[in-house]
Amino acid sequence: MKVLVVNCGSSSLKYQLIETTTSAVLAKGLVERIGLGEAEYSFTHGERPKVKVGIQSKNHTEALREVLGKLVSEPYGVLSSLEEIEAIGHRVVHGGESFYHSALITDEVIKAIEANGELAPLHNPPNLQGILACREVLPNKKQVAVFDTAFHQSMPEYSSMYALPYEYYEKYKIRRYGFHGTSHRYVAMKTAEFLGKPLENLHLITCHLGNGSSITAIAGGKSRDTSMGFTPLEGVVMGTRSGSLDPAVLLYIMEKENLTPRHMSDLLNKKSGILGLSGISHDMREIHDAVEKGHSRAKLTLEVLVHSVRKYIGAYMVELGRVDAVVFTAGIGENDWVVREMCMARMENWGFVLDKEKNRTTRGTLAEISTFSSPSKILVVPTNEELMIALETQWVLEEKE
Ligand code: ADP
């Protein structure tokens, strides 16, 4: 099935056209600066080299029209007609408590996405704009919403609830939701395929370590706990996000520095994490360069990051009781052998024996990096959220037919 996967931000539209039977990406592109003067459109269609052009698009509908035009017209076309697109899959960040699975988009689903907008005010409204743009331009196509949070709806209440006065859950739905669900589900499926075992029989800890990072405990293909919470701020140390900290710290800083909630949110989301602690960059590659040059805060940043990941791995080992594999994915997880080696150090007694050589040479490919005789496996599994969205779209439509 040919599925157009769409991911809309407040001023961007990212897409991939995927043939699900072969997992081939037929075309992909990104329109940025939508509604901010001249928009920038870069795309790679078929085997041709990447193209960058300036376009006029005041809104997501205009941007989408431009994209669809490029998909069918010479010299960049990869389709003879838009009829070939069989469905559209949308990334939607927050499904709240309404969605346990991906959903065929109907008027009711649109209302629910709108209602959940309060929980993700920066993400759900633009995701919805993308859906509405597709409805307007391609009114006959079936559309599916794939939620970042849906996979984690299987978390038991004891992992999803905060110990706050219960009324805040009742009034504002404050609880842990988790994110990156599409990625965790995808790498869990791939892991089961690789190990040649049914996902239903596996206990996994999946570590999505990128700019944003989260760790998930998966039992029998279902999320049992995950490190991100009410927002993507909770959990491990990330590129620019602090991850979990004593909540009293932020009250203290707000008082001392006379900060508004908005400033504090900026500090925690954009100025903290690897960037804030190192004072160098949010990018792990630059942290490693600095460590090699003897930069002590870069070394400390690496250690704090790894420590935060290890704490979750340890907690989830206890929660799951038995772990068949720890899986690393996303930018850092797939490429950074140093972080992986540090995360899995001194775990032999827990059944994880890293093959240091295999770990050093594995970069961006699916591979087992534990020794042959290691009782539990350590794997690198590249994520592919767009492919997962395309597959979920296909599955939803097949179920409905
Ligand atoms: P996003 O969360 O934006 O999707 P990615 O999963 O692409 O992010 O991860 C991006 C991060 O991955 C970069 O900021 C960088 O820290 C890290 N990264 C990418 N390549 C490498 C590498 N070769 N070595 C170490 N870190 C890397």
pLDDT tens column, 133-155: 999 999 999 999 999 999 999 99
Q: Is it the case that residue 207 has pLDDT exceeding 70?
A: yes
User: Is residue 284 lining ligand 1, measured as CB closer than 6 Å?
Assistant: yes
**What is the tens place of the pLDDT at every residue in 364-384?**
999 999 999 999 999 999 999
Distances in whole angstroms, Cα of residue 226 to Cα of each of 20, 262, 271: 28, 26, 23
Going by their DSSP bridges, the two strands 325-329 and 203-209 should be labelled as parallel
What is the residue with the minimal CA distance to atom 14 of ligand 1? 283
Cα dihedral sign for 156, 170, 105, 382?
negative
Structure tokens given for 264: 């504090």
**Per-residue pLDDT at 292:** 98
Question: Do 277 and 268 meet the contact criterion of CB atoms below 8 Å apart?
Answer: no
**In which region does residue 358 sit, left (phi positive, over 0), alpha (psi from -120 to 50) or beta (all else)?**
alpha
The model's pTM is 0.96
Average pLDDT over residues 336-345: 98
Structure tokens given for 339: 């972080």
Q: Is it the case that residue 313 has pLDDT exceeding 70?
A: yes
- The CA 129 to ligand 1 mean position distance, Å, reads 28
The whole-angstrom separation of Cα 140 and Cα 120 is: 29
Quick one: DSSP state of residue 50? P
User: Is residue 211 lining ligand 1, measured as CB closer than 6 Å?
Assistant: yes
Q: Which of 123, 278, 283 to mutate to test the pocket of ligand 1 (most atoms within 8 A of CB)?
A: 283
Integer distance in angstroms from the first to the last C-alpha of the chain? 14
Question: Do 90 and 105 meet the contact criterion of CB atoms below 8 Å apart?
Answer: yes
User: Is residue 335 lining ligand 1, measured as CB closer than 6 Å?
Assistant: yes
The whole-angstrom separation of Cα 141 and Cα 132 is: 12
User: Is residue 333 lining ligand 1, measured as CB closer than 6 Å?
Assistant: no
What is the residue with the minimal CA distance to atom 23 of ligand 1? 335
User: How far is C-alpha 200 from the chain's CA centre?
Assistant: 22
- The CA 119 to ligand 1 mean position distance, Å, reads 27
pLDDT > 70: what percent of the chain?
Answer: 100
User: Is residue 212 lining ligand 1, measured as CB closer than 6 Å?
Assistant: yes
- The CA 143 to ligand 1 mean position distance, Å, reads 30
Among 331, 349, 339, residue whose Cα is nearest residue 369? 339
User: Is residue 332 lining ligand 1, measured as CB closer than 6 Å?
Assistant: yes
**Per-residue pLDDT at 401:** 53
Q: Which of 182, 209, 211 to mutate to test the pocket of ligand 1 (most atoms within 8 A of CB)?
A: 211
**What is the tens place of the pLDDT at every residue in 171-199?**
999 999 999 999 999 999 999 999 999 99
**Per-residue pLDDT at 295:** 98
The whole-angstrom separation of Cα 382 and Cα 203 is: 19
**In which region does residue 291 sit, left (phi positive, over 0), alpha (psi from -120 to 50) or beta (all else)?**
alpha
Is residue 148 part of the annotated active site? The answer reads yes
**What is the tens place of the pLDDT at every residue in 25-81?**
999 999 999 999 899 999 999 999 999 999 999 999 999 999 999 999 989 999 999
Average pLDDT over residues 82-105: 96
**Per-residue pLDDT at 200:** 98
What is the residue with the minimal CA distance to atom 22 of ligand 1? 335
Helix (H, G, I), strand (E, B) or coil at 202: coil
User: Is residue 330 lining ligand 1, measured as CB closer than 6 Å?
Assistant: yes
pLDDT > 90: what percent of the chain?
Answer: 97
Cα dihedral sign for 191, 370, 159, 174?
negative
Q: Which of 284, 301, 385, 389 to mutate to test the pocket of ligand 1 (most atoms within 8 A of CB)?
A: 284
Structural domains of the chain sorted by starting position, each given as residue range(s) with its CATH number in brackets: 2-147 (3.30.420.40), 197-385 (3.30.420.40)
pLDDT band (50, 70, 90) for residue 400: low
Residues 6+ apart with CB under 8 A from 145: 90, 92, 95, 99, 102, 103, 105, 109, 113, 127, 131
